[in-house]
């Protein structure tokens, strides 16, 4: 099929490259030439495992990027993969989404055939019908359901495994409100994946599809906060939370996924989606007590980690290493990384911070330009009086003699990635 993708961030670039790999002709549309030019040159603008080879293989060929929304009229399907960040009140900011939707509508004014617009961005239930469809109709001068269709197709891609998640999905959600042409075209787009993996396909309404994404992330965020709460209790009783979680995971009603307790969740999706859902619930007159508790617990975990460091190190005037800056391994994304409140807490204590991450140094340097960054973990540990582990990069599991370079070998592990051994004072956050 001929597909245009509006937005070339973490979601859009991955979707575009994967659809090209499935044999489609893809046009990636983005307002930033600094994103467009690398894609056409065969280089991924973001760090994501498995993405670079796809962009290298198809960039400039069956995957071409442009700043011109006119590319929409050369395609059958347009996917909106634009950011919906958190606004000052905790809800979603639709500025980019509405601007992109208007540009797509203006392009559709010149289209001759039926066109399908697919909302892949995460939006509150009702947003597509009440905010986006009117913009499309106004800008295009055409009628939804007659001249063009609008579907909701939420993404379930985790940063660090986005390519795998797209190519081997757990489920595909198609929200169309009964528009058979929209459903048929969207089903054809995903047919190769469904045929290969026998992927469950959920055919539902647009409001339901919008809600499914929020419910998915809210449930996972709450699950992490629950195991962290249990983990904090376990720590008080000298119980290893991970042994408890191993037993919990054997219950098929619970499963073993998202039971790794630690310093908490971050990234772009969980924080903004849970906050947006809480705000929307309150606007509708409902108090989301469980989600409020999940967020409160998550916000406390970095402070608990720092309190464990305080038990062993007076950070004022001391060098302290921060290992891991991205919000999770496999990505250079620092949005809502747990390293941010940790660094802020250490700065409040008067610590001299030295930080290391395999790929996320430059984004964090923009946030904290005045702390020291190293190119290797051993350099970060040299001469420090304490180390905190924030991201569970695999290389941290192999650290051993490197800790001998510390002035005082105190390690507070927020992810259970460092091996406890003789010669270091080791504190696990929840074990």
Q: Active-site residues: which are they?
A: 269
| Residue 379, helix vs strand vs coil | helix
Bridge partners of residue 53, in order along the sequence:
none
Write the DSSP symbol of residue 332.
-
- Read off the DSSP letter of residue 280: H
Q: Is 65 helix (H, G, I), strand (E, B) or coil?
A: strand
Q: Nearest-CA neighbor of 177 among 111, 116, 246?
A: 116
Measure the CA–CA gap between 281 and 304, rounded to whole angstroms. 29
Under a CB-based contact definition with an 8 Å cutoff, are residues 258 and 227 in contact? yes
Extended strands (E) in 308-401: 319-323, 352-356, 372-373, 386-389
> How crowded is residue 70: how many other Cβ atoms within 10 Å of its Cβ?
14
In sequence order, the 6+-apart residues with CB closer than 8 A to the CB of 427 are 308, 309, 311, 312, 410, 411, 412, 413
Closest CA to 27 of 54, 58, 56: 58
């Amino acid at each position: 099929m001929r597909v245009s993708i509006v937005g070339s961030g973490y979601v859009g670039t991955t979707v575009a490259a994967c659809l090209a790999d499935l044999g489609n002709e893809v046009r990636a549309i983005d307002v930033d030439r600094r994103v467009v030019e690398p894609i056409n040159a065969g280089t991924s603008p973001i760090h994501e495992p498995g993405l670079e080879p796809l962009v290298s293989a198809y960039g400039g060929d069956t995957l071409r990027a442009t700043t011109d929304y006119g590319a929409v009229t050369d395609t059958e399907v347009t996917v909106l993969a634009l950011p919906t960040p958190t606004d000052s009140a905790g809800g979603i900011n639709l500025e980019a989404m509405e601007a992109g939707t208007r540009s797509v509508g203006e392009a559709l004014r010149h289209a001759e055939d039926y066109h399908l617009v697919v909302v892949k961005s995460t939006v509150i239930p009702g947003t597509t019908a009440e905010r986006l469809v009117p913009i499309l109709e106004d800008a295009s001068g055409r009628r939804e359901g007659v001249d063009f269709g609008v579907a909701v197709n939420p993404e379930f891609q985790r940063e660090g495994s986005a390519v795998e998640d797209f190519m081997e999905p757990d489920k595909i959600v198609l929200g169309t409100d009964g528009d058979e042409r929209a459903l048929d075209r969207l089903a054809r787009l995903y047919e190769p994946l469904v045929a290969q993996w026998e992927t469950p396909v959920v055919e539902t309404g647009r409001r339901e599809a919008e809600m499914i994404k929020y419910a998915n992330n809210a449930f996972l965020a709450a699950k992490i906060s629950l195991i962290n709460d249990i983990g904090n209790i376990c720590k008080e009783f000298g119980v290893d939370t991970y042994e408890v979680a191993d037993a919990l995971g054997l219950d098929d009603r619970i499963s073993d996924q998202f039971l790794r307790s630690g310093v908490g969740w971050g990234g772009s999706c969980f924080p903004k989606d849970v906050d947006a859902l809480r705000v929307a619930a309150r606007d509708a007159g409902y108090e989301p007590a469980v989600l409020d508790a999940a967020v409160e617990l998550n916000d406390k975990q970095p402070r608990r980690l720092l309190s464990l460091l305080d038990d062993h190190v007076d950070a004022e005037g001391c060098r302290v290493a921060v290992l891991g800056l991205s919000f999770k391994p496999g990505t250079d994304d620092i949005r809502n990384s747990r390293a941010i409140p940790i660094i802020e807490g250490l700065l409040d204590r008067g610590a001299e911070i030295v930080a290391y991450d395999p790929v996320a140094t430059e984004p964090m340097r923009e946030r904290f330009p005045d702390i020291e960054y190293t190119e290797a973990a051993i350099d970060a540990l040299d001469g420090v009086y304490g180390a905190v582990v924030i991201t569970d990069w695999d290389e941290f599991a192999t650290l051993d003699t490197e800790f001998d370079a510390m002035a005082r070998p105190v390690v507070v592990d927020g992810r259970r990635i460092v091996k406890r051994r003789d010669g270091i004072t080791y504190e696990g956050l929840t074990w």
